[in-house]
Structure 1
Amino acid sequence: MTVRALLARVVLQEDINFLLTNRMPRQLLTRFMGWFSKIEQPLVRDISIAIWKLFADLDLSDARTTYFRSLHDCFTRQLREGARPLDSAAGVLVSPCDAIVGACGAVSGTAVIQAKGFPYPLIDLLGDPALVEHCRGGSYVTLRLTSSMYHRFHAPHDCLVERVTYVSGDVWNVNPIALKRVERLFCKNERAIIEATLADSGHRLVLVPVAAILVASIRLHFIDVLLHLRYRGPRVIPCAATFAKGEEMGWFQHGSTIIVFAPKGFALCEGISQGARIRMGQALLRLLG
């Protein structure tokens, strides 16, 4: 096969993937999946998980239990004790989740990269000029959770969560194909902006869980509601929730993205680069000096 033919085949496959996962009634499909995944009928559950295993690299060896009431129960599974060792170094922020590292690096001015050639303004993502200014000169890491990964996320450090801002939006797929084709994708999708203060240094950390097609629900344990497309409560939710490093903060229903913003003075840890795989608890960002 010639290089030209190979490239044409890749483009065709990407076109099909994009059409199948984006050019459909995304919100309707997401709501259907939310309902279907919670069906606890054994045959439906078993067939659904079997099909999932067929098309994804699903590894349940580190799950707390191998019995699941439903597909949703499997999606949101917990881990057995000790499955994710924590980097306990004081100046290290650990990854909040299992993920594939996407765009990452220094925050250049008030914009960051979504994918090659696709920057997006932080004001469109965060919606708060003061928060954007706080992130200027800092570092960021985009963490993409695939469908088969562990879907719960945890505190990167000892911290106090002081505010959550919920932004309703669309549910575009967040896979690399969509990120190369849809400008400002993260700014279009449903998301929660979590603001936290680190316990030892006082630095302010921002986590942005972004929902996607088949997900559109974010559960935060310190808020008494499920954040999803039909949520009609207050947009800004003040809170005062204390977390220890590695403590569970919430979960996604399926798979999506978390963008981590650390202020000036933090840098990426060794080995953190686009395409790298990381597990919850491993070193992600470190305080310099």
Structure 2
Amino acid sequence: MKAIQAAATRWRDRLLLQEDLNFLLTNRIPRIAVSRWMGRFSRIESPLLARLAIAVWRLFTELDLSDAKHSRFRSLHDCFIRELKPGARPLAPEPGALVSPCDAIVGACGRVEAGRLYQAKGFPYRIEDLFGDAARAAPYRDGSFVTLRLTSAMYHRFHAPADLRIEHVTHIAGDTWNVNPIALKRIERLFCRNERAALHARLADGRPIALVPVAAILVSSLRLHALDLLLHTGYAGPHELPCDASYAKGQEMGWFQHGSTIIVFLPPGLALRVASGQRLRMGQLLAS
């Protein structure tokens, strides 16, 4: 028994050391400056440089380009925001299904209880702090939420989870902390600290739905087709952006430039059909 306990202790200590190193390397650096540099570097148009950068990228991630529409890229940025082959992401056929807007790993999810939700176990935050406006957060105070984390190797475009109309976008300036599980267990209210945008929309039946894309380290911008706008840490335009854009389920809405998180908020009456830790592809069943 003592030998088993000692082995368990050594394993735990190694894990904590790896987590400490990951946290230091991805957070205790000038995050915004590094993110802006990465944004500029990724746009350098050189097929050779792109191939070399992608080769290095593959050493650290499970990058799979087999379903990409193109096999060659002019820049690293082109690979980040790659399109997929037609039919690569079929939509869930269930009647009334809301689908995942992106490829992702499901993080914290469940009920919003009296305006409070969680980024990780023991780390709550207030929905109005995320939205930056209590009135716009009100429809979801007793609804449900699901956190969808996009890793750097994943497909980075996001799509409409249902037929909907975007009515308003709020841009909220902030930091670029890493949003991986290690950081979420250490930084309180992390999503409320980071650069983000709140997309306020309505489903075809009039019920509200919101998507909140949250930026992270190395993610310098978010492209929204509805506004033909690039939101980023240096954005100096208006932050309250009226919008009137309709999307069919599965239609592309925009993209991240590297990898990040989208938090989806649903009003009462819609039930989540996913669980924490589940891997999703865009178009798979999310709620009904």
In the alignment, is the contact (CA less than 8 A) between 1:93 and 1:284 conserved in 2?
Answer: yes
Following superposition, the deviation at residue 224 of structure 1 comes to: 2.6
Gaps of 5+ in 2: 1-5
Q: Deviations over 1:224-265 (max 9, x none)?
A: 321001111111100100100000000000000000000010
Query: Stretches of 4+ moved more than 4 A in 1?
Result: none
Residue in structure 2 matched with residue 283 of structure 1 by the alignment: 285
TM-score by length of 1: 0.96
What is the one-letter code of the residue matched to 1:184?
R
Task: Name the CA distance, whole Å, in 2 between partners of 1:216 and 1:119.
Answer: 26
Residue type of the alignment partner of 1:16? L
Letter in 2 for 1:227: L
Q: Single out whichever of 219-228 and 17-26 deviates more from structure 2.
A: 219-228
Cα shift at 1:100? 0.1
Q: Does 1:16 align with 2:21?
A: yes
- The residue aligned with 1:273 is 275
Q: Give the secondary-structure state (helix, strand or coil) at the position aligned to 2:67.
A: coil
Distance 1:42 1:209 in 2: 30
TM-score between the two structures when normalised by the length of structure 2: 0.97
- Answering whether residue 213 of structure 2 is matched by residue 209 of structure 1, we say yes
* Residue 118 of structure 2 is aligned to residue 116 of structure 1: no
Looking at structure 1, the residues matched to 154 and 228 of structure 2 have their Cα atoms a distance apart, in angstroms, of: 25
2:81 is equivalent to residue 73 of structure 1: no
Residue in structure 1 matched with residue 62 of structure 2 by the alignment? 57
| CA deviation after TM superposition for structure 1 residue 90, in Å | 4.0
Q: State the partner residue of 1:263.
A: 267
Distance 2:18 2:9 in 1: 14
Q: 5 Å matches for 1:170-249?
A: 170-199=175-204, 201-249=205-253
State the Cα deviation string for residues 118-171 of structure 1 (Å, max 9, x = none): 010111101111222210221110000000000000000011100000001000
Identity value in percent: 61
Aligned to 1:157: 162
The answer to whether the Cα contact below 8 Å between 1:143 and 1:258 also exists between their aligned partners in 2 is yes
Task: Give the SS at the match of 1:266.
Answer: coil
Structure 1: distance between partners of 2:137 and 2:50: 44
Once residues 234 and 156 of structure 2 are traced to their aligned partners in structure 1, the CA distance between those partners, rounded to angstroms, is: 21
- Give the distance between the partners of 1:149 and 1:281, measured in 2 at CA: 14
Offset at residue 101 of structure 1 (A)? 0.1
Cα distance in structure 2, aligned partners of 1:121 and 1:137:
12
Partner of 2:3: none
| Aligned mates of 1:66, 1:49 — CA distance in 2 | 12
Report the equivalent of 1:134.
139
For 2:53, the aligned partner's letter is S
Displacement after TM superposition at 1:112 (Å): 0.4
Q: Is the 8 A contact 1:159 1:245 kept in 2?
A: yes
- 1: distance between equivalents of 2:94 and 2:229? 33
**1:60 maps to amino acid:** L
Asked if 2 retains the 8 angstrom alpha-carbon contact of 1:190 and 1:216, the reply is no
Q: Which one-letter code corresponds to 1:78 in the other structure?
A: E
Rounded Cα–Cα distance in structure 2 between residues aligned with 1:110 and 1:162: 22
State the aligned residue count: 283
Task: Find the partner of 1:106 among 93, 106, 111.
Answer: 111
1:244 and 1:225 map into 2 onto residues whose CA distance is: 20
